[in-house]
Amino acid sequence: MELFTLYADGEGIRALFLVHLSDVARDGSSMQEHVDEAFLESCVARPEDVSYFVPGGADMFGITVRGPASIRGFLAAPGVLRAIRTFNLTHMNRGRNAYQASHCYSLADCMLQG
């Protein structure tokens, strides 16, 4: 499981981010109907560049961002970086697991310093 991936998208690129649903909900809940869509749209160049899905699992949330300008803007948003870091640290701190090698404080902190 990766917290951030880049893919080819026709002539452009798209990025996929995995975070906790509660970190992007208006009220901090894990309910999809409470997603703060205005916040997500404010982090990208064009509102249509962001979409999301719930991949399953407790409190998981997937965000797709299309286009280089929107990906840069999304990664520059402090609230987004906090959500990425929180998700990263959650997986790192689950004890011995497959995610320990790829989830670490330095990776999360590097993204926060962007």
Say how far apart CA 51 and CA 67 lie, in whole Å.
12
Per residue in 23-68, pLDDT tens?
999 999 888 889 999 999 999 999 999 999 887 767 888 999 999 9
Q: pTM of the predicted model, to two decimals? A: 0.79
Per residue in 59-98, pLDDT tens?
888 999 999 999 999 999 999 988 988 887 777 666 665 5
Structure tokens at 14: 């798209």
- The residue to which tokens 């399953």 are assigned: 56
Say how far apart CA 41 and CA 27 lie, in whole Å.
17
Region at 35 (left for phi over 0; alpha for psi -120 to 50; beta for the rest): beta
Q: What share of the chain is helix, strand, coil (3-state, %, to 5)?
A: 40, 25, 35
